[in-house]
Structure 1
Amino acid sequence: MTEQQKELTQPESPQPEKNPFILYMKGSEHEEALHRLTLWVRHLLLPVYGREVTSTAPWCTSWWRHQEAVAQLYGLWMAWQELTNPAAGLTGPSVWQRDHLSHVMAALRDPSGPFAGCKSGSHREKEPPGMDAYPS
């Protein structure tokens, strides 16, 4: 196993005082987490589980520009780290595929999901839905 593969598969030490979820990170902590996530997506997720891009299964090559994709993929990566750790037991990878991978990839690659309208090499910003002011 190369050092890069070890880095992608070894879980990070938990930090009990902080929420480890990427949407709560700021500055350099966020940038480092996003960098590590992009390595995992590029070198493990897409080559093994990426599947072909079609009109019914879109993918944005600039997926990190979609907050929903970052949140979903980071959660998937966190689960990967936990469930592929030797302490997870022999069924850990199967549990990860069954309980995490299929759902996340289906949601991201849904034709009306976060990559709707994105084409290969062409990112399209999305407008979030609006919300009326809550009456006070």
Structure 2
Amino acid sequence: MPDEPDAPDFEVPVGLFQDLEDLKAQVARLSAQVQELSDGTDAADGGIPADDESAAGDEGGGGEEEEEAQFPPFILLLDSPQYDDELRALIEWVEGVLVPGYLAEPSADARWCHLWFEHSVAIARLHACWLAWQELTDPATCGYTGPSAWHRDHLDPCLRELRHSSGPFAGCTKGEHQIGHRMPGIVPSAWRQIAED
């Protein structure tokens, strides 16, 4: 039996192990996606997965509804009562996670409105940030770097835009709420002339 070679004498950086774990998670996720695509889709049947085809026959298109429920649409595209349910869940996340964890005391340079849910721009931006948070805080879909990407790519730009002195809360001061300050002014005269013709 030949002698085993000596192990190399060097230290492996801790970050290398974290990178390897991230890569393993990504490979596992991609392998699962490839498996799903190769198992379920048959080009001869028009690209409908076999499971979805049987579900569509049994439930009258239930597969499409299931897919919609899995991926919530952008809040501004919803009608009541779905809009109300989504807004309620968004308020719970903003008030339970975002406000206590990320917002400092409002100031002239970093505004915040306690009635933020009455500002449509704030609803849109915060909902988009929340959707990204749901995806990027799940290690199964994004590994361990998701939260870092969420902070850099979603939270920081969102808060910068919302809390800017010219953002949607520009007219709101501590304890005072003003919603009408962001409404557009008079229609330009060129548009009025076209409408009159």
TM-score by length of 1: 0.82
Matches within 5 A, 1:43-122: 43-87=96-140, 88-122=142-176
Aligned to 2:73: 20
Deviations 1:55-95 (A, max 9, x none): 11110000000000000000000000000012211000000
Q: 1:5: which partner in 2? A: none
Q: TM-score, normalised by structure 2?
A: 0.58
1:4 — aligned with what?
Answer: none
Separation in structure 2 between the aligned mates of residue 14 and residue 31 of structure 1, nearest angstrom:
20
Letter in structure 1 aligned against 2:149: V
Kindly tell me: are residues 38 and 48 of structure 1, through their superposed partners in 2, closer, same or farther at Cα, counting changes over 3 Å? same
Distance of 2:67 and 2:137 partners within structure 1: 16
More helix by share: 2
Larger relative contact order (Cα-Cα within 8 Å, sequence gap ≥ 6): 1
Q: Where do 4+ consecutive residues of structure 1 move more than 4 Å?
A: none
Q: 1:33 to 1:112 in 2, by over 3 A?
A: same
Larger radius of gyration: 2
Structure 1: 5+ residue stretches without partners: 1-12
Q: Aligned to 2:158, what secondary structure does the other structure show?
A: helix
CA RMSD across the alignment: 2.3
Match of 1:129 in 2: 184
The residue identity in structure 2 corresponding to 1:129 is P
Shift of 1:14: 5.2
